[in-house]
Structure 1
Amino acid sequence: MKLRMLPALLVLLPFLSMAQLSIKGRVIDAQTAVPLQGAHLNLNNRLVKTTTDEKGMFEINNLKPGNHKLKVTYMGYQNWDAVFEITTNRTMIISMEPAAILTEETIINATRAGEKTPVAFQNLSASEISKNNQGRDIPFLLEQMPATVVTSDAGTGVGYTGIRIRGTDMNRINITVNGIPLNDAESHSVFWVNMPDFASSVGSLQVQRGVGTSTNGASAFGASINLLTEAPANEAFGEITNAAGSFNTLRHSVQAGTGLIKEKWAMDARLSKLSSDGYIDRAFSDLKSFYVSGGYYGSNTILKLNIFSGKEITYQAWDGVPSYILEENRTYNGIGMYTDHLGQTKFYENETDNYQQDHYQAMLSQRLGGNLTGNFALHYTKGFGYYEQFKDDADLTEYLIAPVAIPGNDTSFITESDLIRRKYLDNDFYGFTWSLNYEKEKLSLIAGGSGNRYEGLHFGEVIWAEFAQTAGYNHRWYEGTGDKKDLNVFAKARFQANKKLSLYGDLQLRGIQYKLDGRDDDQRDISQSHDFLFFNPKAGIHYSVHKNGSLYLGFAVANREPNRDNYTDADPTKPGPVAETLFDYELGYNYSDESVKASVNLYFMDYKDQLVLTGAINDVGAAIMTNVPVSYRAGIELSTAVKITDKLQTSANLTLSSNKIWNFTEYVDDWDNWGSQIENEIGTTNIAFSPGAIAGAAVSWAFAKGFDATINGKYVSRQYIDNTSSPDRSLDPYFVSNLRLSWSVEPKFMRGLEVSANINNLFNSEYETNAWIYRFYSEGSYNVYDGYFPQAGINYMLALTIRL
């Protein structure tokens, strides 16, 4: 009954606030008219939570008629302030005069796309990030972006999460923080669980679809995500957030900052704790993190030090739910299950993943004279952790443990035992990044690069065994190392040929040395070394069709080396994996005015030697990824945002694509003829996890003073979980919707108070976002082992934020 009344209330409430007025406008550079994104607004000596968007636009609603004082601040510019009377809604252009100081944005200028860069990209400002931040991982902040699909092992967005953009998985998405590589050098992936609540310390982010611009770290092989940590506030502040929700999910976060002291020094800090029982059985998460940043902000120099860390303990849920159980028990988790000596089914309580990752970043931005600025950063990341597993009736010889003699019987031995094992990763990643930026009238030049080294130790220990008299404490049964050196240099140029035409060029040279030593967990010798030298050119044009519209055309090349698993799982009796190459063609049109933003982008991503799962196995029966000669992704991306009124806004996006592998051959294990495989010629087939249609839409309504409601929806079409295009092995299409309600007020004794309620999966859809499969032939028929990852039904999160 209460839910039925909600639409009526939403309709009636606007009439209660007809006397409320608004100010909207645009903040620009007074000399160049370039829009200033992220400018802070202070109304009547109180900081407004709204900041300007990528077009420099802002809007302040729910104002009473009368005199108001507005102050606008932006690092690197002189403050702007004015007192004025409003009796009707007001629109203004605010021109800010540059001050002779650097801005925080100079740290990431070398790796971000600009307004006239011929690539498809989207920015999220600090206010947009804050509005959608529930404490879930960063992939869920990006869920409503074009061509994007997200997933969560525990089903709630807390714990292990992932993201795909244009069907490209985490291993092929380049991710940087302040221009510093975040991807793991060996796996190429990013484990967001190691960075809980990091979104609370992000000042802005940019997602580039396709190859994008040259960046540091692993090559962008379909997308890149560029994160910039928060800039210091102009004034001292404090902020406390407490949230609680379904599945016993709790979030506690405390933030504080000094503001600019003597307009030059600042320090910010955050401490967070998140916990959740998870939607999936026993898939709990216990997450902690902190962030500390301090710096000097002078007229010609920015010197900044960041230290941030995350520690996670999560119960493993990465096996998914078998398809034959899915309909009866969507929360099933078979990990940790064993049978005790009485024949009873039990679950090992400590079947957990445990990891801590510490990041240290020292960044210097320096004006070198005239139009030239330089950036230099040193970084170090320390990672250490393990995951623990109970194994019943394990073969002792597989763990290099001698059979145990039975007392009184010289001919009988115990060869199997229950045991507990841990697999460890101990790694160090360190290096530097640099760039030089030159800006003068029609010409923009950027030169940059990085040098990084990764040193990783992989090892496993048996910490307990029921029968293991010859094994010592923490018996180590395997150990292997990885040593990777990565050096790249790039140069970018943009030339304004005339008032309408801009030319873009980007050249990158990247060299890699990768050496593996030791043994894997199955005792295979993995010693090998690989060297690569990649040349990645990019070029394009940007053409201003008219005042509000522009066209762009871009071409880019990316090369990607195989990751650690590609090498360690490869069959040593056959040629190993080779590097992949991507040729990316982009054609787009952007339109923007005060009320409407719209874009259309056509892309064709032509792959050479893309690594995919074919069902092929190595010499010991483990699945391997194989290079396929020809494959492609082609599609169209449409997006729009419309401001219908000052209080009502809508946005939508649609991606339609075709993702194919030519002349694909599937390999299926033949259990009836052990050691052999059946080959099935499939021909042209769909690439796994690449839906042909992805759509999103959202409506936001500021329906009363301080009240705001946003409802969004996401549709994802069928996704095949292998490369055979079989409907029997696919994820069903799904639509999921979320609702956010918020109320904010600014009492006299504090900067702000906000209460928000997020209702996720509003219509209680049953859907899965990820899966794995192993197919085999036995007793005259095809069979599968598989695991699906269902997401939670309707669930909620309530939050209270106090801003001091």
Structure 2
Amino acid sequence: MRKILLSLTLVVASLLTYAQSVSGTVTDDAGEGLPGATVLVKGTQNGTITDVDGKFTLNVKEGTPLVVSFIGFESVEATASSNMEVTLNPGTSILAEVVITSNVIDVVKERETPVAVSSISPAEISLKVGNQEFPEVMNRTPGVYATKNGGGYGDSRLSLRGFDQSNTSFLINGQPVNDMENGWVYWSNWQGLTDVASGIQIQRGLGASRLAVPSVGGTVSIFTKAAELAKGGKVSQSVGNDNYVKTTASYSSGRSETGWASSFLLSRWSGDGYVDATMGEGWTYFGAVGYAPEGSDHAFNLSFLGAGQWHHQRDVWVSIRDYQNFGDDKKDGIDRKWNTNGGTLNGEEFNMRRNFYNKPLATVNWDWKINDNLSLATSLYGSAGRGGGTGPRGNNFRNSDINIYPFRTDLTGHYIEGGNTGSRKADGTIDFDNVVEVNRSTTTPYDGEISGYNGQLIGSNGFNDENVNRAVLIRRASMNSHNWVGGISTLDYNSGNFRYSLGVDLRKYTGYHYRVVNNLMGLDGYYSTGNQNSAGQIIETTIEASPFNNTGLDGPKINYYNIGYVNWQGLNGLVEYSSDQITGVLQGGISNQGFQREDQFAQVGNPLSKQKNLTGGYLKGGANYNLNSTSNVFFNAGYISRQPLFDAVFPGFANDVNPDLQNEIIKSVEVGYGYLGRYLTVNVNAYNTSWGNRFIEQTVPIGPGVNGTAQFKDVDVLHQGIELEATYRPIDNLKLRGMVSAGNWRYTKDFDATIFDENNSPSGTAFIYAKDAKVGDAAQFTSFISADYRFNIVSVDLSYRHVDGLYADYNIADSEFLSPDNNGALKLPSYGLVDLGVTARFEMFGTNGTFRANVNNLFDTVYIAESNTNIHNGSEDAVGETWNGIDVANSVWFGFGRTWNATLSFNF
């Protein structure tokens, strides 16, 4: 009887629960269902997410107030009812709490924040990236130019409005990730962002961030997942060209009655690489735990993100004629996959250039709603990056049997014309087994004074006494590890139409730079004379080129060992006025950077530099005016005084502080117009950014086989441009998108440089005629158009991107600019690429599934993505033959040919 009563009770409870549930559909303004939209009970953390068709069911009573949100759309409030329909309008909404829990993040709001911005949704990231590099998903936005660089996994780079990555701010959940010494961002450290990113905002120009960050070109703000509130999981399997395989699994516990929620993700990828000899593999790991008790004024979120990886590289620039003369996978006479570094060892792929890194990032966020008007948001973070890159070491050029690396020429000149075959095979690839054999057969057993090594085979890079052989080749590893901790805290006060903010930004960074031995290539030890504090030592300890093993920080080192210390203290403030029609904002910040350099090897008598403190700051503001319900105009202007980078403080790898330090000055002004209609959205803006007082240090030849350093100061450039972005929905199920970006980026004056020799002593000056020379390495004109059409459960998207105004990257100390009548920067051929994608959403065994296939560069177009040389036709360095109008002596990266990827995923 008790069992019967219990069964009846459960049935009745189930019926009551069913009776108190509501269901509905969330769509965009074109009527297309939005999968993954969040539906929450207002004022609580109880809710769910929509399925692949935008449908949901929620156990609440009719009449309950709900909040519905989705990345890239304005959130709306709705009342729960049976078979309800909720339509979201396009816009840049404040990110829902299901995605981000910290208010330290500065998010641009449509028709409010006076900043030019483009947003990329998580669906677009997960569907369209595939096996492409993470920055490439941003190529469809104005002002962005992203390339694969050498073509290894994670070796891509991005520029914004013509400014490279060291002059564009990158934030992950509001935290700065640009290297604190050189300002760079290494995307191989962030491979896992494609798995955990829940949205991207490309804030062009001054941006909305309150931090004093290097936002000369703009701010790329990346948002990752937090502890999700809905219970469920996802598994996906991806495959692609060149044996690319990726497996991902994630799970979220959902929010418990006590306010706890957790999410976890684990992913592994591997592949041979499109470019020859660029295989790699890596792991992505992510975890988040959130705690937000119902009715509490406090919310906490702990997250942990990392992406350990290794991959072979193609970092030696390849001339056009090398692509023609080597390799066998040619189109238009070019083998785009050719890699001068590639070869085999023990029957397996081997490359002297191998990158490996692991950079876990841990973050604790605390949001405190003190009262209805006052709130405090705090984020504490820490990172311990470990890894580096391998490369050749030893005077291999002294032995003709292993002389495999060209010196100041390409492989054609070295191998074909010069006859320096070394250990290269007939096809130009390297026989590293022969390198090992030659190392051993040409080295005489050691008979020196260092005990314990008699009879062993010892090599070196320069020392050649006591039977030490310098005419050898080993693989060293150059390490760039760091420890980084920081904290951001922002106090916001709202009073009527005004918002006031006061924030602090604290960072402490220690960078470790050294070399260790990775592979002795058949030898027993390496004789190092790099430490000037010792007479020399023999090193037999090697480290493994892996992101998860010992990286040699506490072991013996060769060649160099120095440590960079950077401390940062920042204070910022904001005043904002906002009404239905007008928003005005004024922001200011001041920061102090403390620089110090320690050298364990090269600075005898001066191992630790003095600390140099430099103050910088910014002032920026703007206003947005809504002309009516569809149109708005905005403007912004700003002044930034930015501290120089670490190498400018300590030029020439020395511990002496540069006596001529000066802050870089950035001035920017921008105006824009926006139209937000039911079927058409348009955003257009024009900008003018001047960047002066720049310090540039570059290596230049000063004699046969001798390099010096040229130090430029007071370098000025001007970046101007117009950008347009539009979306149009002419009929149901069809969405058209387009953008046009036209820039005029150039140097504004001539200037002189002081040249220092290898002993850091002045050895001359040079006058550089750079006025009106175009800024290189980024396309000054880009356009993009795409069409997305949905056939029931299948969607098809086709896009075309055109690139023009692309100039070679070049050294402004090139002989080209020593005369007033020079040819300036080399303009590269324009190109256009077509991409195709197909998405199918379906239900199988009660589980929502998605299949996505991408074909990039559909028509297999052959094009130059970037050039590292500036050789004009008919110049002294030209060889007289051209490809598509460009002299074949130029060293370039060709873009990838046709590639593909496919992903099958299930949500449960």
TM bucket normalised to smaller: 0.7 to 0.9
User: What is the aligned partner in structure 1 of residue 442 from structure 2?
Assistant: none
Summarize the alignment of residues 154-165 of structure 1 with structure 2, pairs less than 5 Å apart. 154-155=150-151, 158-165=153-160
Letter in 2 for 1:321: V
The separation in 2 between residues aligned to 1:209 and 1:443, in whole angstroms, is: 25
Partner of 1:40: 38
Distance 1:670 1:70 in 2: 71
Deviation at 1:738, TM superposition (A): 0.9
Out of 632, 635, 645, the residue aligned to residue 563 of structure 1 is 645
CA distance in 2, matches of 1:102, 1:132: 25
Match of 1:797 in 2: 901
In the alignment, structure 1 residue 716 sits paired with structure 2 residue 798: no
Work out whether residues 377 and 433 of structure 1, in 8 Å CA contact, stay in contact via their aligned partners in 2.
Answer: yes
Label 1:93 to 1:182 Cα distance change in 2 as closer, same or farther (>3 A).
closer
Whole-Å Cα distance in 2 between the matches of residues 670 and 516 of structure 1?
A: 20
Give the conservation status (yes or no) of the 8 Å contact 1:615–1:668. Answer: no
Identity of aligned residues (%): 16
- In structure 2, relative to structure 1, the CA distance for the partners of 1:93 and 1:276 (3 Å cut) is closer
- Deviation at 1:453? 0.3
Secondary structure class of the residue paired with 1:718: strand
Following TM superposition, by how much is the alpha carbon of 1:233 offset from its aligned partner in structure 2, in angstroms? 3.6
User: Relative to structure 2, which stretch is displaced further, 455-464 or 572-581?
Assistant: 572-581
For the pair 1:592 / 2:689, whether they are aligned, the reply is no
Rounded to whole Å, the distance in 1 between the matches of 2:136 and 2:55 is 27
Distance 1:71 1:790, change over 3 A: farther
Deviations 1:531-580 (A, max 9, x none): 21112001112111111111111101223333344455549798656432
Structure 2 Cα separation of the partners of residues 378 and 398 of structure 1: 47
Q: Which residue in the other structure is 2:489 paired with?
A: 434
Moved more, 498-507 or 468-477: 468-477
Counterpart for residue 417 of structure 1: 472
Post-superposition Cα deviations, 1:426-463, rounded to whole Å, max 9, x if no partner, equal: 21000211111223431122222210100111111235
1:688 partnered with 2:776:
yes
SS at match of 2:589: strand
Q: Secondary structure at the match of 1:423?
A: strand
CA 759–667 in structure 1, closer or farther in 2 if over 3 Å, else same? farther
What is the letter of the counterpart of residue 483 of structure 1?
Answer: Y
Q: Are 1:507 and 2:588 matched, yes or no?
A: yes
1:579 paired with 2:663, answer: yes
Cα deviation for residue 179 of structure 1 reads 1.4
Q: Is the 8 A contact 1:159 1:285 kept in 2?
A: no
Distance 2:724 2:263 in 1: 39
* Secondary structure in 1 matching 2:125: helix
Q: Does 1:706 align with 2:788?
A: no
- Give the distance between the partners of 1:532 and 1:38, measured in 2 at CA: 47
Residue of structure 2 equivalent to 1:744: 841
- SS of the counterpart of 1:689? coil
Q: What is the alpha-carbon distance in structure 2 between the residues aligned to residue 736 and residue 197 of structure 1? A: 26
Distance in 1, matches of 2:27 and 2:627, equals 27
Which one-letter code corresponds to 2:483 in the other structure? D
CA distance in 2, matches of 1:281, 1:137: 17
Q: Match of 2:7?
A: none
Rate the CA distance shift 1:306–1:521 in 2: closer, same or farther, 3 A: farther
Whether the 8 Å contact between 2:798 and 2:835 is mirrored in structure 1 is: yes
- CA drift of 1:392 comes to 4.8
Distance 1:405 1:520, change over 3 A: closer
Is residue 607 from structure 1 mapped to residue 694 from structure 2 by the alignment? no
Structure-to-structure mapping, 1:243-392, within 5 angstroms: 243-262=238-257, 264-298=259-293, 299=295, 300-327=297-324, 328-335=334-341, 348-349=350-351, 351-392=353-394
The secondary structure found in structure 2 opposite 1:404 is coil
Per the TM alignment, residue 263 of structure 1 is displaced from its structure 2 partner at its CA by 6.9
Match of 1:14 in 2: none
Whole-angstrom CA distance in 2 between matches of 1:188 and 1:199: 22
CA contact (8 A) 2:99 2:224 kept: no
Q: Retained in 2: the 8 A contact 1:301–1:366?
A: yes
Q: What letter corresponds to residue 560 of structure 1 in structure 2?
A: R
Bigger radius of gyration, 1 or 2? 2
- Deviation track 1:438-494 (CA, whole Å, cap 9, x = no partner) reads 234311222222101001111112353747465132452221000000111111111
**Contact 2:133-2:148 at 8 Å conserved across structures:** no
2: CA distance between counterparts of 1:588 and 1:167? 19
What is the TM-score when the length of structure 2 is the normalising length? 0.73
Distance change in 2, residues 1:680/1:265 (3 Å): closer
Higher mean alpha-carbon deviation, 526-535 vs 248-257, is at 526-535
Equivalent residue number for residue 644 of structure 1: 730
The one-letter amino acid of 1:317's match is: R
2:576 maps to what in 1? 494
Contact between 2:39 and 2:67, CA under 8 Å: does it hold in 1?
yes
Change (3 A) 1:107 1:174: same
Contact 1:244 1:797 in 2 (8 A): yes
Partner SS for 1:645:
coil
Q: For residues 500 and 768 of structure 1, do their structure 2 counterparts lie closer, same or farther at Cα, with a shift above 3 Å needed?
A: same
1:359/1:765 Cα in 2 relative to 1: closer, same or farther (>3 Å)? same
Q: Deviations over 1:180-209 (max 9, x none)?
A: 221121121111211223232122221110
2-side partners of 1:37 and 1:530: how far apart? 53
Q: Distance in 2 between matches of 1:263 and 1:320?
A: 58
Q: Compared with structure 1, are the counterparts of its residues 542 and 670 closer, same or farther at alpha carbon in structure 2 (3 Å cutoff)?
A: closer
Are the aligned partners of 1:102 and 1:367 in contact in 2 as well (CA < 8 Å)? Answer: no
Q: How does 1:77-226 map to 2 (within 5 A)?
A: 80-84=79-83, 107-108=102-103, 110-115=105-110, 116-155=112-151, 158-216=153-211, 218-226=213-221
Q: Please list the CA deviations of residues 214-252 of structure 1 after superposition, one character each: whole Å capped at 9, or x if unmatched.
A: 444642121111122224444211111101111111111
Residues in 1 aligned to 2:76 and 2:127: alpha-carbon distance in whole angstroms: 26
> Which ranges in structure 2 are unaligned for 5 or more consecutive residues?
1-23, 41-46, 57-63, 90-95, 325-333, 399-457, 528-536, 542-555, 880-887
Distance 2:754 2:498 in 1: 57
TM-score scaled by structure 1? 0.82
CA distance in 1, matches of 2:620, 2:35: 26
- Give the one of 742, 745, 748 matched to 1:656: 742
Out of 465, 487, 491, the residue aligned to residue 404 of structure 1 is 465
Specify the code of the residue in structure 2 equivalent to 1:373.
S
- CA gap 1:715/1:507 in 2 versus in 1, 3 angstroms: same
**Distance in 1 between residues matched to 2:229 and 2:737, nearest whole Å:** 32
Structure 1 residues 567 and 489, CA gap change in structure 2 (3 angstroms): closer
Task: Looking at secondary structure, tell me which structure has more strand per residue.
Answer: 1
Once the two structures are TM-superposed, the CA of residue 314 in structure 1 deviates from its matched residue by: 0.9
Which amino acid letter does the alignment assign opposite residue 266 of structure 2?
L
SS at match of 2:163: coil
Q: Secondary structure at the match of 1:128?
A: helix
- Following superposition, the deviation at residue 420 of structure 1 comes to 2.5
The CA distance in 2 between the partners of 1:632 and 1:357, in whole Å, is: 35
CA contact (8 A) 1:664 1:681 kept: yes
| Alpha-carbon distance change, 187 to 539 in structure 1, aligned in 2, over 3 angstroms | same
Match for residue 473 of structure 1 among 521, 536, 540: 540
How far, CA to CA, are the matches of 1:564 and 1:771 in structure 2? 27
Counterparts of 1:273 and 1:120, CA distance in 2: 36
Residues in 2 aligned to 1:579 and 1:791: alpha-carbon distance in whole angstroms:
37
Change (3 A) 1:737 1:576: farther
C-alpha distance 113-399 of structure 1, shift in aligned 2 (>3 A): farther
Return 783-792 or 615-624, whichever deviates more.
Answer: 615-624
Distance 1:165 1:706 in 2: 36
Deviates more, 1:564-573 or 1:393-402: 393-402
With over 3 angstroms needed to count, the CA separation of the structure-2 counterparts of 1:507 and 1:665, relative to structure 1, is closer
Paired with 1:291 and 1:238, the residues of 2 have a C-alpha distance of: 14
Report the CA distance shift for 1:590/1:398 in structure 2 as closer, same or farther (over 3 A).
farther
CA distance in 2 between partners of 1:453 and 1:788 (Å): 38
